[in-house]
Amino acid sequence: MPLLELDGVDAAYGELRALWGLDLRVEEGETLAVVGANGAGKSTLLKTIAGVMHPTAGRVRFDGRDVADVADHRRVALGISLVPEGRRIFRSLTVQENLQVGAYSRRPGPWDLAAVFDAFPLLADRRNRIGAHLSGGEQQATAIGRALMANPRLLLLDEVSLGLAPVVVGDIYRALPTIAAKGTTVLVVEQDLGQALSVADRLQCLLEGRTVLEAPAVELTREQVAAAYFGLE
Ligand code: ATP
């Protein structure tokens, strides 16, 4: 049984349909990358899984359970944690305090302060620095670390590389295998195809709210993904 299963999910903002009958599976322990151009529906997909938005049709099942009636804050308790686009950390709290906030609704599991500092060595040196004084990459790492402190079974990452310098993006992505090695399942939304292919076990490409490509990452070339991304095939 997949950890996460979407069947025929439609989602809309008023009259504007953003997802059209979307099917998606994530197996326990795997890393799925969802790629697509601006407006393809990637953030809408994550909001629908996290319960911030509710589908107008279709089913979302987590660990075999239909979560339609489970509110977003209850989904964290089930083990679904979303790191939204824009790395919203507490600017007046230190790195360590931000991480401790994430432990507030903590499930049992492998993640604690030491494990987060191990996955993101750049944070260990900054643990007493306040959020406002962190670089973009340090803020992003703090946001991901805070989500991990809840010990999610499924970590949802929305465009972690957005607006970051390439070298910093490398620091963030280097943590993903460590996260996966602890058994945390990851669904990462990414616009950078190279990054997506390098970290994912499987890749799903969306175009205008529909899946246009879905395959194990090792079976895909960058050219194939780019063609699907731009709707060229
Ligand atoms: P981006 O990379 O720009 O975030 P995305 O793939 O995440 O793109 P979504 O943000 O899910 O795409 O957007 C899907 C569609 O829904 C787009 O047509 C977008 O304009 C629309 N949309 C997204 N958010 C809203 C909103 N709050 N209100 C109305 N329409 C929205």
**Nearest Cα to Cα of residue 18 among 209, 231, 189:** 209
Q: How many A from CA of 97 to the centre of ligand 1?
A: 32
Report how far ligand 1's centroid is from the alpha carbon of 28 (Å).
28
How does pLDDT run across 145-191, given as a tens digit for each residue?
Answer: 999 999 999 999 999 888 888 888 888 999 999 999 999 999 999 98
Dihedral sign for Cα 183, 187, 190, 192, please: positive
Mutational test site, ligand 1, from 43, 46, 47, 52, max ligand atoms within 8 Å of CB: 43
Which pLDDT score, from 0 to 100, does residue 73 have?
Answer: 86
CA 178 to chain centre: 15
Q: What is the pLDDT of residue 171?
A: 87
The ipTM, to two decimals, is: 0.94
What pairs with residue 216 in β-bridges? 202
Give the per-residue pLDDT at 168.
Answer: 87
Residue 233: band (very low, low, confident or very high) from pLDDT cuts 50, 70, 90: low
Helix (H, G, I), strand (E, B) or coil at 109: coil
Q: What are the tens digits of pLDDT across the range 54-108?
A: 999 999 999 999 998 899 888 988 999 999 888 789 999 999 999 999 888 788 9
Verify whether ligand 1 is closer than 6 Å to residue 221 (CB atom): no
Residue nearest to atom 31 of ligand 1 (CA): 13
- For 115-143, what is each residue's pLDDT tens digit? 999 999 999 999 999 999 999 999 999 99
CB under 8 A, 24+ apart: contacts of 114-122: 115/148, 115/182, 116/145, 116/148, 116/149, 118/178, 119/145, 119/148, 119/175, 119/178, 119/179, 120/144, 120/145, 120/171, 120/175, 122/171
Q: Is 137 in the pocket of ligand 1 (CB under 6 A)?
A: no
Specify burial of residue 131 (Cβ count, 10 A radius: 0-12, 13-18, 19+). Answer: buried
Distance CA 11, CA 148 (A): 27
Q: What residue type is assigned to position 187 of the chain?
A: L
Q: What is the pLDDT of residue 181?
A: 93
The answer to whether the beta carbons of residues 185 and 5 sit under 8 Å apart is no
Ligand 1 near 161 CB (within 6 A): no
With a 6 Å cutoff on the Cβ, whether 39 touches ligand 1 is yes
Q: What is the pLDDT of residues 26-45, one digit of tens each?
A: 999 999 999 999 999 999 99
